[in-house]
Structure 1
């Protein structure tokens, strides 16, 4: 897989970085900037926006992300995805102040162009 195949829209299913692994759903938008670095934007459960930047090598995608919590504090973390195919990413993530005994998990499924047109 090449870096130019990574950009797109992905539906995500994940679990949080805690003992209960509370599930969530969302959308991940991946794009490339002028330096061929990854620019990411998550929308979790239709309410929480997270932003990140990262890089891609050997079918591994690494993104440093941040978001403002409900308490207005800035939270930071890193997400790591293995690109199983161009349409499937399998990953894990951790926040700086999350429970160090656990990792969050996320699976990302590319939304086809036809699916995007049906939504719009």
Structure 2
């Protein structure tokens, strides 16, 4: 698998970095930048946008991310995905303001635009 194989759109399901293990859904968009690094954009629960940049080696994708939260504060963190296939990513994450006793979890599934006509 190469970094180019990861480019695309993924559906995500995850759990927050807290004792309640709150769940969320969304989308992850992966593109390549001019340095052949991953650019990431998450849309969480149709309301929150997060952005990141990362690198890929040995089927592991690491992305440093940030987003703007309450009172225009910037939150930062890192997510690590094990790329099981080019279509399925299994990850965990942590942000600097999160509860250090927990890790967030996130699984990603490629969204394909293949539509089969049924007659």
Q: Please give the TM-score of this superposition, normalised by the length of structure 2.
A: 0.94
1:69 aligns with 2:35: no
**Structure 1: runs of 5+ lacking an equivalent:** 116-120
Structure 2 match to 1:21: 21
**Structure 2: runs of 5+ lacking an equivalent:** none
**Following the alignment from structure 2 to structure 1, what is the Cα–Cα distance between the partners of residues 8 and 46?**
18
Greater radius of gyration (CA) = 2
Partner secondary structure for residue 4 of structure 1: helix
Structure 2 match to 1:101: 101
Structure 1 match to 2:90: 90
**Following the alignment from structure 1 to structure 2, what is the Cα–Cα distance between the partners of residues 42 and 70?**
17
**Following the alignment from structure 1 to structure 2, what is the Cα–Cα distance between the partners of residues 20 and 26?**
19
**Following the alignment from structure 1 to structure 2, what is the Cα–Cα distance between the partners of residues 78 and 10?**
18
